[in-house]
Amino acid sequence: MPRLALAALLALLLWGCSNSSRSSGDLRSTKERKAAPAFTLKDSSGAAVKLADYKGKVVLLNFWATWCGPCQIEIPWFIEFEQKYRDRDFAVLGVSFDDDGWISVRPYMTAHKINYRVMIGSDHLSQLYGGVDALPTSFIIDRSGRIAATHVGLVDKRDYQNEILKLLEDPQAALDGAGAAARLALLVRPDQRPGRP
């Protein structure tokens, strides 16, 4: 029988290659905010989800995957936020980075009763958002479509909640939002301006 002589050891370093965790903690000032890159993706029902259509709303854009433990902690919070604030011009959008796409994501959505829209991400989308190399990564987007906060890694639920509420209650941001501006125009008709006879 032939014998084997092996180079007996392969040594590998499995480095975590992510950037260190970065989390803004607070909302960026309006001047510091940059526009959230536009995208159009399909949700689990096949309907197109266009980020631009959410102008006027506060959006929590969450990049996640079914295999990501910290993401699993956040998802029930997002379900709660969606339920609690959807009537106040707020929406959660989930973007999964599972390699096998809907094969893993659809059953997960059903099992966890996810009540917000979920799409499948791509390398291109990741690059648009600065190269998302760790999950979860979430972006809090103001009513004008600008990124007000970025969170990489698991964040305290209260941080999310405070940021969402601040943006929902910020009158200046509301004025910037297209949807809100349209509503104000309806409320203040020319013949109702103060001081007009």
- Which spans of this chain sit near another protein (rule: CB under 8 A)? 1-18, 21, 65-73, 97, 99, 104, 108, 133-136, 152-154
Nearest residue (CB) to another protein, 48 versus 73: 73
Nearest residue (CB) to another protein, 30 versus 122: 122
Q: Do 61 and 138 meet the contact criterion of CB atoms below 8 Å apart?
A: yes
SS3 139: strand
SS3 196: coil
Q: How far is the CB of 108 from another protein (least distance, A)?
A: 7
Nearest residue (CB) to another protein, 85 versus 139: 139
Q: How far is the CB of 37 from another protein (least distance, A)?
A: 20
Q: How far is the CB of 75 from another protein (least distance, A)?
A: 11
Q: Do 123 and 114 meet the contact criterion of CB atoms below 8 Å apart?
A: no
Q: How far is the CB of 170 from another protein (least distance, A)?
A: 28
Nearest residue (CB) to another protein, 121 versus 177: 121
Contacts of 95 (CB under 8 A, 6+ apart): 41, 61, 62, 63, 64, 118, 119, 120, 121, 125
Location of structure tokens 């972006």: 139
Element (H, E) at 117: strand 117-120
